[in-house]
């Protein structure tokens, strides 16, 4: 092997090592920020829901994820275990992820509300107002390239946050919307909440079809990083 070839390979290895070190440092920083956020969520008393919960449900998954899924609020099992999407809707979400060759560890999953509304009622406007600063901070920490909203409440909030007019989810589900942020280009995909497949089996096909857009977007992000 020539000296030039050896030098080239050494340079590649050095660049890869520097990239891995940067990612590790970035992940540690994000973990610390998320830890502090979780402490604030658990101490939050801004609305009545804190007094009714068993556990606050902040979120879980990779803090370096390209895709962030945002649901509505914790349900019974989420409140019991302190984790998002671990009930029947969670099983559907796991199936959807598997259908596009993703696992929970590859993405980040959270909700608009961090505490369960009693009897799984809809979130109240004042609860959303109190809780969404935590969600905003999660988005800032993760810096996702893709946000997939699950259901109407997350759709309405995310579109409002980025100054977009939200139509009915029945009209725009599965479509890709692009916004420019301080952290770069962000893709937003409105999706039905996985729970719809529990109550209406015909919606399973719609959900699985809508999820097919994710591999294409992730491939585009990977190619951008490779070129960068």
- Can you name the residues that pair with 61 across neighbouring β-strands? 108
In whole angstroms, give the CA distance from residue 93 to residue 206.
13
Stated pTM of the model: 0.88
Q: Where are the alpha helices (DSSP H) in the chain?
A: 3-43, 76-81, 88-99, 125-142, 152-161, 169-172, 196-199, 203-211, 213-227
Query: Rounded distance, CA 110 to CA 93, Å?
Result: 12
Instruction: Return the pLDDT at 19.
Output: 74
d(CA 147, CA 177): 10
What is the structure's pLDDT at 20? 80
**What 8-state DSSP symbol labels residue 117?**
P
Q: Measure the CA–CA gap between 146 and 175, rounded to whole angstroms.
A: 12
CA separation for the pair 178, 185 (Å, rounded): 7
Which residue numbers in the chain have pLDDT < 70?
1-4, 6-7, 9-16, 18, 221-228
Res 120: pLDDT? 92
Average pLDDT, rounded, for the chain: 92
Secondary structure class of 173 (helix, strand, coil): coil
User: What is the layout of strands, in order, in the sheet containing 60-61?
Assistant: 60-61, 108-111, 67-71, 146-150, 184-191, 177-181
Phi first, then psi, for residue 177 (nearest 5°) are -115, 140
pLDDT of residue 103: 95
């Amino acid at each position: 092997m020539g000296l030039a070839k050896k030098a080239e390979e050494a340079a590649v290895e050095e660049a890869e090592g520097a990239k891995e070190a940067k990612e590790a440092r970035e992940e540690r920083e994000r973990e610390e920020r998320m830890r502090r956020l979780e402490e604030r969520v658990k101490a939050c008393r801004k609305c009545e829901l804190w007094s009714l919960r068993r556990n606050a449900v902040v979120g879980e998954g990779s803090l370096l994820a390209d895709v962030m899924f945002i649901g509505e609020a914790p349900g019974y099992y989420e409140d019991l275990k302190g984790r998002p999407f671990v009930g029947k809707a969670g099983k559907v979400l796991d199936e959807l992820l598997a259908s596009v060759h993703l696992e929970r560890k590859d993405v980040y999953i959270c909700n608009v509300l961090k505490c369960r509304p009693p009897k799984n009622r809809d979130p109240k406007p004042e609860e959303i107002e109190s809780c969404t600063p935590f969600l905003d901070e999660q988005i800032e920490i993760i810096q996702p390239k893709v946000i997939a909203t699950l259901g109407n409440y997350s759709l309405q909030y995310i579109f409002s946050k980025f100054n977009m007019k939200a139509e009915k989810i029945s009209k725009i589900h599965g479509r890709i919307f692009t916004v420019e942020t301080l952290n770069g280009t962000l893709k937003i995909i409105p999706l039905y909440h996985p729970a719809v497949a529990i109550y209406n089996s015909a919606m399973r096909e719609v959900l699985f079809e809508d999820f097919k857009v994710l591999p294409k977007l992730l491939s585009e992000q990977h190619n951008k990083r490779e070129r960068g």
